[in-house]
Amino acid sequence: MNNIFKIALGATLLSSVAATAGKYPFPQNMKSPNGYTVPFADTDMIKSHYNTWKGAWYDASKGWIYAPEGTCSTVSEAIAYGMLITVYMDDETMFKKLYSTWTENAPANGGMHWRIGCSGGTGSATDSDIDAAMALIQASAQWSNTQYLTDAKALISWIEQNDFNGTQLKPGSNWNDAFNPSYAGLANFKLFEKVSGGNWSTHRSDVAKDLLACQNSKTGLVADWCSWGSHQPTKTSASVAQSEDAGFFDDAARTPWRTAWAYYWYGDSDALTFNKKIATWLIPATKTASGINSGYYVNGEAEMSVKRNFVSSTFSGGLGLATSSLETQEAKNYMETVYKTLAALTSCATGSGCGEGTVPGEKYYPSTLNLLYLLLMTGNMPNLYDPTGFTKFTPDPSLMRSSDSGVEGVQQKRGDSTVAVSGFWNWGAYHDKYGSTKMSPDSGSSPIFLRDGAYYADAVMEIGPEPTWTQEKANVCKQTPAKCELLYPSAGIAMSFLKSEKGVDLSTLGVKYLKLNVKSEGPIRVAILNEETAEAGAEPGIYVDETSGSYKEITYDLTPCDYGFLGKAANCGAATDDNSITILSWVNTNTAPTGSDILKSVKGLKFEVKDAKGGYGAISVKSVEFLDASKQVIDPSKITGLKIDNTVPVTPASSSSTVVPGVSSSSTTVIPGVSSSSTVPGLAIIAGAISSNAKISVAGQQIQVTAANNTEFAVFSMTGKVIANGKLAFGNASITVPNKGVYMVRVGSKISKVTIK
């Protein structure tokens, strides 16, 4: 009794003392010793999210965070989460009030009743207990307060006695009907061992075994609740997702956050095993964090009800954080999409009316997790009690992938029918003009670039976030189009077979396959443009696999299958949204044309980035080939009706034409990788005449072009960077190059190699 009194008195005294400045003010910006800490975070954005969240859900007069969305009750989960968040935001005033609520509703100096207020409940919730203890430990270091640490040790002892049943982690002090994987606080238990000793190493090991046993063998997903006997998905009276079968829903969504936390701080091997299994399924299945649905069954099937078919912080951040434990570039790119998705999702400004249409934003649960996820992944949730291995850093926004990087090479003119990729010349870039989408090259220009002696169709894009659809907004768009807010961003490159953009019957040409050689990053979808699809964006397509920085050949089967084509599926019966060329989920199947009809009226292809919350995409098309049933290439001129010469004759230099220093007058001008007697593959003749008297010479670091009246010219490095270009109105030009080396000089239709020594 005396001990209880001392603890309670300590809490009372703490609440009456003025808050002090923290030892680790926000932002901490401390890179974790393990995992991928996002290096480009905008911490002002996190601070803004915090202020909005606090304004919506925190009642200072009561010391409550309202949960769920009401004004008459709160839950221990909300109090514990709030304590964690305020430690890292260095807000001791709020922390003290929340902790006072905890102690006032925690019998026997232990866990707080899981719900208080107008609809109270008795007994504690284990996840809240372990998070409150963690918050107290961190608070002791943040504000140099030993009382917090004393209280933490007492709570840890209580947890060990009340929240465990032998080897089993109970869901609460008063019940133990099943295992909840999202309560598996492996990082918490590791720290508890350091702070208080005891059997926490054994507890961590026991809980990790149950956690891994509950994982689906294919996806790595776990259910909200897992049976003790079989470790299979089950439901309890505490299941939040009562209307669905047991699956990966609101409780389970937090589990990868817990395991990411354990790996970030301690390099926990069980946490890494757990996260690797999820990430292996997650990245190819969802492409980006905004492609994560708000609920799945453990076999990976998305629950597509209206209640679940949307993007939320709970799932995009929770599942997405599994990728933070991997060191691959693919995983790091995915983490960038997690960050962008969470940055775009914010709390409602007020709790009243939140999420009902009049007050946009996320409710208590997802907006609270939004902060916890962001803090952890950006280096602002370090182990303040033992910061060994954490290193300070300065976030650098330039490290985020951006369209500002541009495209390498010499951009070609739009509509030049002598410049082609695999014989297809009619390419164009496009993007919306809503303000948040950026792209290189710019909309309306050519995406064809000359690089290393060949033509590529390239683009890098940053697409803006999609608007949130509501029936009310849809009605406005229908009734008053000028006031429509449902403006969906777009960015990509498209290729049309014909200048008229009419369709071509590929079935009569015997087309059976589409073969691409591409390099891609981000969620790039290739779609079949055609005359039959009435609505833009409703064309059948398939996401291109990310290629890890190198070009990859991909062959798609164009055998008609329902509203599209087989793609990579073995047969129509095995076709899914992921492996077939098909329509998107929003397309009306009553009006969608069949694959057979589409094949008779194909206009071309488009490659565009698709990301609901905004994101990055890059595509480089090296070749496009249509193949017959025996996989022989069909001459593209049979499709376009235009024969394009894809070679440039390599002509010898002479004293009367081109002078190339370092090359004898009897030799042939050499382009790297091409023999002296060959032609340059993939390099089309650029329209333009050249005087027979035109000469190229060198003086120091100047390339001089003479006697080439009214002729277009260009000088570029061997990496494709343009040094100078224009039209020789008076026939002469002197171009100073930056360094010694080899340059390509194009005068009219002739390309020559020049060496500056």
pLDDT in tens, 13-50: 444 456 778 999 999 999 999 999 999 999 999 999 99
Residue 698 has pLDDT above 90, yes or no: no
Locus of tokens 């909200």: 224
Band of pLDDT at residue 58, cut at 50, 70 and 90 = very high
Instruction: Give the closest residue to 524 by CA, choosing from 536, 511, 507, 542.
Output: 542
Residue 357 has pLDDT above 70, yes or no: no
Band of pLDDT at residue 540, cut at 50, 70 and 90 = very high
Element housing 50 (H / E): helix 43-57
The domains spanning 2-399 and 647-756 adopt the same CATH topology: no
Band of pLDDT at residue 670, cut at 50, 70 and 90 = very low
DSSP, residue by residue, 491-550: EEEEEESSTT---B-TTTTT--EEEEEEEEESSEEEEEEESS--STT-S-EEEPPP-TTS
Is the domain spanning 2-399 CATH 1.50.10.10? The answer is yes
Identify the pLDDT of residue 685: 29
Least confident range of 272-281, 377-386, 508-517, 575-584: 575-584
Q: How many other CB atoms are found less than 10 A from the CB of residue 110?
A: 18
Identify the pLDDT of residue 676: 30
Q: How many other CB atoms are found less than 10 A from the CB of residue 508?
A: 10
Instruction: Give the closest residue to 250 by CA, choosing from 171, 188, 312.
Output: 312
Q: Which CATH architecture has domain 647-756?
A: Sandwich (2.60)
Least confident range of 160-174, 240-254, 260-274: 240-254
pLDDT in tens, 84-132: 999 999 999 999 999 999 999 998 889 999 999 988 889 999 999 999 9
Please check whether residue 513 is in contact with residue 634, taking contact to mean a CB–CB distance below 8 angstroms: no
Mean pLDDT of 734-747: 80
Please check whether residue 610 is in contact with residue 616, taking contact to mean a CB–CB distance below 8 angstroms: no
Higher pLDDT, 354 or 468: 354
Identify the pLDDT of residue 206: 98
Mean pLDDT of 354-371: 90
Mean pLDDT of 57-68: 94
Rounded-to-integer distance, Cα 281 and Cα 137, Å: 35
Identify the pLDDT of residue 745: 84
Residue 645 has pLDDT above 60, yes or no: no
Residues 6+ apart with CB under 8 A from 153: 195, 196
Higher pLDDT, 748 or 377: 377
Identify the pLDDT of residue 625: 97
Please check whether residue 442 is in contact with residue 508, taking contact to mean a CB–CB distance below 8 angstroms: no
pLDDT in tens, 184-210: 999 999 999 999 999 999 999 999 999
Residue 425 has pLDDT above 80, yes or no: yes
Rounded-to-integer distance, Cα 473 and Cα 346, Å: 20
pTM for the structure as a whole: 0.79
Please check whether residue 494 is in contact with residue 427, taking contact to mean a CB–CB distance below 8 angstroms: yes
- Token pair for 93: 């005033």
Higher pLDDT, 625 or 740: 625
Residue 690 has pLDDT above 80, yes or no: no
Rounded-to-integer distance, Cα 495 and Cα 647, Å: 21
Rounded-to-integer distance, Cα 168 and Cα 203, Å: 8
Rounded-to-integer distance, Cα 134 and Cα 88, Å: 12
pLDDT in tens, 290-332: 999 999 999 999 998 877 888 999 999 999 999 999 999 999 9
Higher pLDDT, 465 or 652: 465
Identify the pLDDT of residue 720: 61
**DSSP letter assigned to residue 738:** S
Report for 423-427, 474-478, 643-647: range of highest mean pLDDT: 423-427
Least confident range of 360-369, 627-636, 706-715: 706-715
Identify the pLDDT of residue 154: 97
Provide long-range contacts, Cβ within 8 A and 24+ apart, for 211-216: 211/181, 211/184, 211/186, 211/255, 211/259, 211/270, 211/274, 212/270, 212/273, 212/274, 214/179, 214/181, 215/274, 215/277, 216/298, 216/299, 216/300
> How is the chain split into domains, by residue range?
2-399, 403-640, 647-756
Residue 674 has pLDDT above 60, yes or no: no
Identify the pLDDT of residue 729: 62
Rounded-to-integer distance, Cα 447 and Cα 606, Å: 12
Residue 657 has pLDDT above 70, yes or no: no
Mean pLDDT of 369-390: 99
Residues 6+ apart with CB under 8 A from 284: 545, 578
Residue 688 has pLDDT above 60, yes or no: no
Please check whether residue 191 is in contact with residue 134, taking contact to mean a CB–CB distance below 8 angstroms: yes
Identify the pLDDT of residue 2: 41
pLDDT in tens, 167-184: 999 999 999 999 999 999
Identify the pLDDT of residue 471: 81
Please check whether residue 81 is in contact with residue 372, taking contact to mean a CB–CB distance below 8 angstroms: yes
Q: How many other CB atoms are found less than 10 A from the CB of residue 718?
A: 15
Identify the pLDDT of residue 681: 33
pLDDT in tens, 216-237: 999 999 999 999 999 999 988 7
Least confident range of 370-379, 503-512, 591-600, 720-729: 720-729
Residue 403 has pLDDT above 90, yes or no: no
